[in-house]
Structure 1
Amino acid sequence: MARHLVIQPAFLGDAVLALPLIGRLKTLFPSAEVHALVRTDVAPLLEGHPWISRLWTWDKTWRGWLTLLHQLRPHHWEGVWVVQRFFRSGLLGRLLPASLYVTYDKNPLSWLYTRRAPHRIGDGTHEVDRVLALAAAAGLTPERPPLPWLFPPETARQKVARWIERQPYLILAPTSRWPTKEAPFRLWEAFLHNVPPSYTIYLTGLPSDRPRLEPLARAHPAAHNLGGALTLPELAALVQSATRVYTVDSALTHIASALGRPTTTVFCSTVPAFGFGPLAPHSTLVETPRPLSCRPCGLHGKTACPLGHFACGHSLPLQDLIAPLLTEAPPPAAHTAADPPPPT
């Protein structure tokens, strides 16, 4: 049986944005197995995914790398698709026996690969289309599969059923591992004061975020602090039925996109032109209206504003956060894991 291997061991959002390539391969080669290699901490979100025949995990250590090499080499791969620009992923992919090797031109080992796709950031190309450019480099049509791309298991939906029942609800995830990606919390407090009380609000984040979310939970009569309370599948199940997701330039934007849920993403020190904005219908962007010469200050966020003023965060317009709620249409029915649509 033909097998393809998609290697994307970056962070959670990056793995989610590689799903369209997996779906495309499954569509074009329905009888083939499509395997995926992801970070160990990302795997729970993708376990049981109907497009993925087998999930391989990497803890990002060299010991783990060698273990994977010994596990993967006995297979012959029809195609090895390295969705990264980094040496270790490129080396792992090229050492596997395969008929086709595909990666980005910026991978330091791309010269050893059969096909190479251009990797450009900053010109407005979305990351999903950068990923699908790998398919185009191999002579395949780079079409996005229809949404959704994620299918939370029914067990996860059952775990969060008591929260899903409180319709309509919004999810607010205001934190990031990069502080300059976070909007000032006073903006979120002002936003929550303006959300009609008919909405339930679920605040989500890591366990370490929970104390920071407490003041926001007090800013709305129907807000609940779920920081650290959800597994990745449970978070996806909650997102699947949300009226709208509010977040920053982070993985939750991409999880919501993959589930087809309307999203409002706030950009502070980074910009949508990098290609990491929301993709679901009725999604919106919020960013400063000021033409700041210092923005963006880097591809990723920073621990603090390099100039000390954080104008990109302090000048965010509150009305742009509120606007979607004034014209919100009822969300379409969410798909369940029991009946996922095909990736065609």
Structure 2
Amino acid sequence: MNNRRNRPSAPRRILVVGPSWVGDMVMAQSLFMALKSATPGVEIDVLAPSWSRPLLDRMPEVARAIDLPFAHGELGLRRRFELGRELRSGQYDQAILLPNSFKSALVPWFAGIPVRTGWRGEKRGWILNDCRVLDPEQLPLMVQRFLALALPAGADLPQALPDPLPVPQLQAEPAQVNAAMAEFMLTKSPAILALCPGAEFGDAKQWPAEHYAAVASAHLNAGGQVWLFGSGKDRPVTDAIVAQVAAADREHCHNLAGRTSLAQAIDLLSVAGAVVSNDSGLMHIAAALHRPLVAVYGSTSAEFTPPLTDRVELLSTDIECRPCFQRNCPYGHKRCLTELSPTRVIEALKRLSMPLLADSTHNNMIL
């Protein structure tokens, strides 16, 4: 009989069911860090969509990434049962569920994990035997809600949370960075400004292409280079940005949208001198890489899921209708974004000490 659970020297094993969005998965690293701090020998496996592997591979706290082979919204009851049975061999002591959905609780239940911890939601209280009731006013930030699940039930919240909160720290390996740079024929000099102009959520989070182009042009005029990141869906906006840059500068404007894998995007962002981004997954990645970051907010706000870094400037307008949290502007004007001028972003980059070439007098740094 296997008595591993009775051996006091054996490390605890925890299965975390991860979130389904890039930014949320980045913030989940704070939970992993807290678990490691509380029990240094703990082994943490993460059950999550396969796209998240590049992120989890860059989190040293994670022992193993396990693919969750379901489409968004798919129940797949039989396949969840089979996956749960397979995971029984992992002999996990606890499962921590970050999504609040009913279906996310099924695999740990089928796996027979003795402690199943999560927030109450979607009538799943009978599946979770450590079901917590969330007070949103006590825990206004998503990262706080993740971290609270690492604490014992009944802990005094928010006072029991770590102080300061652990912040994500993705680790890019130099060999992988160099391989990505070689594949796309990139160099670390002159100074790199990374632009992330896409937003999966919707158009109401996208700062206008012409504003991004103005910031890109200012940096290129100063002698720097610009790298543009995004998925294939973001290619139209990155193409529009490049098209508005002076023809003579385009050779220093590298449009990587739709060309890199997520892993390559992470590694390349790790060497950027600064990043300008909409509220997006790439924004959270840049923050976790601790790159100087200017985050531009339109229909959303930073009150629930801010970038977790101290090297950041958060920019928004104060018009009366924002934040509306809509995918598309209800009024059709997008003033929250159009009225946020490129000058504000350029000044924010200066405050973040964006490394740039000196001007011809060598007395000032220019952008």
What TM-score does the superposition give when structure 1 sets the normalisation length? 0.84
SS for the counterpart of 1:158 is: helix
Cα offset for 1:44?
2.8
Cα offset for 1:56?
0.7
Structure number with greater Rg is 2
Structure 2 partner of 1:194: 218
Unpaired runs of 5+ in structure 1? 332-344
Contact persistence 1:278–1:284 (CA under 8 A): no
Number of equivalenced pairs: 324
Contact persistence 2:58–2:170 (CA under 8 A): no
CA distance, structure 2, for counterparts of residue 250 and residue 124 of structure 1: 22
**Residue 182 (structure 1) aligned with residue 192 (structure 2):** no
CA distance, structure 2, for counterparts of residue 236 and residue 82 of structure 1: 25
**Residue 156 (structure 1) aligned with residue 179 (structure 2):** no
**Residue 118 (structure 1) aligned with residue 134 (structure 2):** yes
**Residue 88 (structure 1) aligned with residue 103 (structure 2):** yes
SS for the counterpart of 1:4 is: strand
SS for the counterpart of 2:286 is: helix
Q: Which of 106, 116, 128 lines up with 2:121 in the alignment?
A: 106
**Residue 269 (structure 1) aligned with residue 299 (structure 2):** yes
**Residue 252 (structure 1) aligned with residue 282 (structure 2):** yes
What TM-score does the superposition give when structure 2 sets the normalisation length? 0.79
- Which deviates the most, 236-245 or 67-76? 67-76
SS for the counterpart of 1:180 is: helix
CA distance, structure 2, for counterparts of residue 223 and residue 254 of structure 1: 23
Deviations 1:298-326 (CA, angstroms, capped at 9, x unpaired): 3xx51x32232222222223332111222
Cα distance, 1:247–1:317 mapped onto 2, change above 3 Å: same
CA distance, structure 2, for counterparts of residue 72 and residue 281 of structure 1: 39
| Aligned pairs (5 A) from 1:57-76 | 57-60=67-70, 61=74, 62=76, 64-76=79-91
Percent identity (aligned): 27
Deviations 1:159-209 (CA, angstroms, capped at 9, x unpaired): 234535224211101011212111121221222233353321100111232
| Aligned pairs (5 A) from 1:293-332 | 295-298=322-325, 301-302=326-327, 304-329=328-353
CA distance, structure 1, for counterparts of residue 180 and residue 205 of structure 2: 28
CA distance, structure 2, for counterparts of residue 309 and residue 329 of structure 1: 33
Cα offset for 1:158?
1.8
Report the aligned-residue RMSD.
2.6
Contact persistence 1:20–1:128 (CA under 8 A): yes
Structure 2 partner of 1:215: 240
**Residue 169 (structure 1) aligned with residue 179 (structure 2):** no
- Which deviates the most, 35-44 or 204-213? 204-213
CA distance, structure 2, for counterparts of residue 148 and residue 200 of structure 1: 27
Unpaired runs of 5+ in structure 2? 1-9, 356-367
CA distance, structure 2, for counterparts of residue 268 and residue 252 of structure 1: 16
